Chains A and B, each alone.
Chain A
Amino acid sequence: MRRVWGIIILLGFLIAVSACSQEEDATADGDSTITYAYWDKNQEDMLKGIVQEFNQEYPNIHVKLELTPYDQYFTKLDAAATGGGLPDVFWMNGPNFVKYASNDMLEPINEYIEEDNLDLSPYPEGLLGLYQYEKTTYALPKDYDTVGLWYNKELFDKAGVSYPDETWKWEDLVDASKKLTNPDKDIYGVAAYIQDAQASYFNTILANNGYVISEDKKESGFDDPNTIEGLQKYHDLIHKHEVSPTHAQMETTEAASMFESGKVAMLFQASYMIPQFKANEYTNANVDVALLPEMKKRANVIHGLGNVIAKNSANKAAAWEFVKFLSSEKAATMQAESGIIPAYEGTQDAWLKSTPNFNLQAFLDMAEVAEPYPVSKDTDKWSSIIQDNLAKAWSGQMTVEEASEVIDKEMEKVLEEE
């Protein structure tokens, strides 16, 4: 028995060793190979094109693309980080960034930027801020999403209300919603949903001069009167003005579905919904998008992906060249043509032209008044605290103030432990 096991284990080693040596073969004679991990299958062809372009300039750097579906992406990345086998370059998002940066898994790129005199002015500031941890930059922005006010032109025309525009204040939205709401036909002026924080209440908090988390990531913003008021105004759309479906209704039928079936006239939604609204015949013909209305100011959250380099990458120089290229004007233009908002300013024209019947310029304008998506090391922990308690406020089990008080207390406990 023991001998059999011995042979099996030996065989295992042999296979492992030969696999390793094979990989090294490929990187001999001055060439280097880097892996690039990402999660969106839809971007595969576009990324392949970018790699091709990259190889015209750097024929010695081979890029191996590694696709993992989003559902498993961070589980796999976590395991890879634990075992010290992170890909050289990979996609990063806001909620996970601080965890990786604070655990020393990512290569700081400040020095590379200085050395190469890289101009950062084409990237939105909110987006660069998202990938800074303790004043150190870790990623170059790839793309971004901002939030706009989508509206149904057909319902506006029927109710004789003029379309939202850049002059709209919050009160205009409330007034228009009242005129648009028609209880007999189950039509509502606006959907004040909370299921997607990024597209919904984060924006009213910011526009009301409030904040979700302090800049040093030590304090919750939920004890700030502005934050609470920003939430309250959004909450009022359901409970005071009664111009929105109830929380329970939007829990059974998604707000976006109601918008798509013409039951809701206005909707806060991010630019990532463009493909969906474009694919739906009804919305493609009948809806458009405008700037979010002003509260104390005009604001919204911006979130985008960043390309990061692993701290223990064996080919940091090659990885940096690739990261730089991925965020270059050329790569940005290629992304724009494929329908993604590139982070590089001035390359978005191709993207605007990709869907001429929507006023996509609104999303670019919103980027100028955007603030980084709120994150800290344990983003998931306090996000779920916020969601759970706001859900109780939205369904009427507690007031917005009570919910905010609970959130503030529990969120600070999480932040203290970070």
Chain B
Amino acid sequence: MDIKKQKSTLRKNDMYWGYLFIAPTLLGLLIFYIFPVFQTFFYSFNDWGDFGSYSWSGLENYEEMFANPEIWDSFRNTLIYAFVMVPISIAISIIVAVLLNQKIKGLTFYRTLFFLPVVTMPAAIGMIWKWLYNADYGIINHILGWFSIPGPDWLTDPNWVLISIIIVGTWGAIGTNMVILLSGLQGIPKSLYEAASLDGAGPTYSFFKITLPLLSPTIFFVAVISFISAFQVFDFIFMMVSPTNPAIDSAQSVIYLFYHYAFVIGEKGIAAAIAFVLFLVILVLTILQFRLQKRWVHYE
């Protein structure tokens, strides 16, 4: 028998085993992620009726979506949110991670403290911050009052509402980022720091010349997932800002509008169109990030 042929049957056999092992994950992915993507794409060209009925409507959903000024507002809000929140939260996370990578007292306590928002339900986070932000009876304005600073209407003033949302988003994102960055920090060899200090480098110098460059692959990973989740921000905004809020136009995110179309007024076709456009935006942004990584990410 031809050796080449024998080899290829062997490889084929191996391949089947390979497929078998990835089957559970692959199936889950196909059923719950990949298939719905195509389904959403299909639904975005259909007019949704009662009880699951739908009819082909061409580009109508997209036309109606872009004719609504709220969609532009919501994309603007989401972009501002993502581009302000992600850099700030990553910067803070790096500082926190570096600090919590030292040998200090109560290390586990601090790490738990910073990770706590991650394991808290977003709905609960929204409720608590809504109380803190309350313009008349909230703690924040109460404390500002001690210093005779008139606190703003955090959640109902169009100029403040997005800032309030960014604060909550940043606070909530630090935990996850910190844990990932910590694991990255622990992968940096101690010997490098020792060598640097022998050569007379101070902590600041080591941070910028050793820590940051060697942490950059982790930072890149954190940036990619942070942007993706920032573009999908919804739950705590939904809890803090109701549809009758006077500042709603400056607060609602793309997914907030998606929720309105899909579950409040039952226009699932338009909702699918919104979801699809958002998917494209995230896709383009992620590709861009991968392109740009060559300029700042150092792989060992």
Residues of chain A touching chain B, judged by Cβ–Cβ distance below 8 Å, are: 1, 78-79, 81-82, 99, 103, 105, 186, 194-195, 247-249, 251-253, 377-378, 380-381, 384, 387-388, 390-392, 394-395, 397
Contacts and interface: CB of A to CB of B under 8 A. Distances in A.
Interface size class, chain B: 20 to 34
Given A378-B266, A384-B265, A394-B244, 18 more contacts: A79-B52, A195-B242, A247-B246, A249-B135, A251-B156, A251-B242, A252-B155, A252-B156, A377-B50, A378-B265, A380-B264, A381-B266, A384-B243, A384-B260, A384-B264, A391-B248, A392-B246, A394-B246
Interface in B242-300: 242-246, 248, 260, 264-267
B208 interface: no
A251 B246 contact: yes
Nearest to B265: A381
Contact of B246 (A82, A105, A391): A391
A378 B20 CA distance: 48
Contact of B137 (A253, A377, A381, A395): A253
B20 to A, nearest CB: 8
Contacts of A251: 155-156, 242, 244-246
Contacts of B137: 253
29 contacts: A1-B16, A78-B51, A78-B52, A79-B52, A82-B51, A105-B51, A247-B244, A247-B246, A248-B153, A248-B246, A249-B136, A251-B244, A251-B245, A251-B246, A252-B133, A252-B134, A252-B153, A253-B134, A253-B137, A378-B265, A381-B265, A381-B267, A384-B260, A384-B265, A388-B248, A391-B245, A391-B246, A391-B248, A395-B246
A395 B243 CA distance: 13
A388 B242 CA distance: 10
Interface of B: 16, 20, 50-52, 133-137, 153, 155-157, 242-246, 248, 260, 264-267
A397 B242 CA distance: 17
B265 A391 contact: no
B18 to A, nearest CB: 13
A78 B48 CA distance: 13
A81 B135 CA distance: 45
A387 B246 contact: no
Contacts of B243: 384, 387-388, 391
Given A194-B244, A251-B242, A252-B156, A380 B265 contact: yes
Q: Which 9 A-B pairs have the closest CB atoms?
A: A395-B246, A82-B52, A391-B244, A248-B156, A381-B265, A82-B51, A81-B51, A103-B50, A251-B245
Nearest to A382: B265
B257 to A, nearest CB: 12
Nearest to B23: A1
A392 B243 CA distance: 11
Nearest to B20: A1
Contacts of B133: 252
A286 B244 CA distance: 30
A390 B245 CA distance: 11
B52 A253 contact: no
B97 to A, nearest CB: 35
Contacts of A392: 246
Nearest to A380: B265
B289 to A, nearest CB: 36
A249 to B, nearest CB: 7
A253 B156 contact: no
Contacts of B134: 252-253
Contacts of A397: 246
A17 B233 CA distance: 44
Contacts of A387: 243-244
Nearest to B263: A75
A393 to B, nearest CB: 10
A151 to B, nearest CB: 22
A252 B136 contact: yes
A377 B51 CA distance: 13
Contacts of A99: 50
A248 B242 CA distance: 11
A247 B135 CA distance: 13
Nearest to A78: B51
Contacts of B153: 248, 252
Contacts of A81: 51
A19 B178 CA distance: 50
B266 A380 contact: yes
